[in-house]
Structure 1
């Protein structure tokens, strides 16, 4: 079984995965599993959550606003799965929960889910690097006059 930290990271990456990547993979893996049908514990529900951020200088936390999310819980062969994604994509939230349960159960599906998560992590890292490259171009260098 994966550690709780890796499960947290997997849930984070499944939430950031594109609909067109996550849904077909979940459909394929459920069809290939040949096991019992997944049980939807809590169907995809859309709601609002409060977004809390940390101010970087004083490190004080404050509420920035509310964010629209969709949450879903499932069970596959007795293994729970959960997903919360930004927006109102109920199908992708269900797919994310299914992939979380399949990954937590281990087996051959876990490697394919880990590969998807690695692709999403690489995409997010590239996007962050590009954003920092844009910000770096605006850096002002000051000179000291003696």
Structure 2
């Protein structure tokens, strides 16, 4: 489990489980909000497969926030205008940075990765079912 992957993985996590973890953390630890959740746009960089150069494909709406949990800073960036999720994820990130609740965070992380993998597998099966075999034509 890598700290930089937490943000992406937990955006795909069950909201009820995230809320329960956040409530546990906020009730037992001192959480200081350094930067309130803020919506903004960022440029989306893309790599040109032909030239190998980069270009910007457009802007993406994100929400960011920064908190401090037991002396460790936590940060999150989530897609769209979602201040609640941004605050939850930055709090979890701060806990992970300070070494608190790592067993609960890891458990949710693993279950969410399994869910993401299962979803991708189902989508791949549906896409593969539409594949045309030109050798048979």
* TM-score normalised by length of structure 2: 0.84
Structure 2: gaps of 5 or more residues? none
Q: Name the structure 2 match of 1:126.
A: 118
Give the counterpart of 2:26 among 30, 54, 71. Answer: 30
Structure 1: gaps of 5 or more residues? none
Secondary structure of the structure 2 residue equivalent to 1:17: coil
Q: How many pairs were matched up?
A: 135
Secondary structure of the structure 2 residue equivalent to 1:143: helix
Secondary structure of the structure 1 residue equivalent to 2:135: coil
Secondary structure of the structure 2 residue equivalent to 1:88: coil
**2:62/2:77 contact within 8 Å kept:** yes
Give the counterpart of 2:10 among 4, 14, 26. Answer: 14
Secondary structure of the structure 2 residue equivalent to 1:71: strand
1:56-77 per-residue CA deviation (whole Å, 9 max, x = no partner) reads x646644333222110111112
Q: Name the structure 2 match of 1:112.
A: 104
**1:23/1:91 contact within 8 Å kept:** no
How big is the shift at 1:80? 0.8
Q: Distance in 2 between matches of 1:49 and 1:18?
A: 26
How big is the shift at 1:132? 1.0
Quickly say closer, same or farther: Cα 1:122–1:89, change in 2 above 3 A: same
Quickly say closer, same or farther: Cα 1:119–1:61, change in 2 above 3 A: farther
**1:14/1:83 contact within 8 Å kept:** no
Q: Distance in 2 between matches of 1:77 and 1:16?
A: 26
Q: Distance in 1 between matches of 2:12 and 2:126?
A: 22
Q: Distance in 2 between matches of 1:46 and 1:18?
A: 22
Give the counterpart of 1:97 among 76, 90, 94. Answer: 90
Quickly say closer, same or farther: Cα 1:18–1:69, change in 2 above 3 A: farther
Give the superposed CA RMSD.
2.2
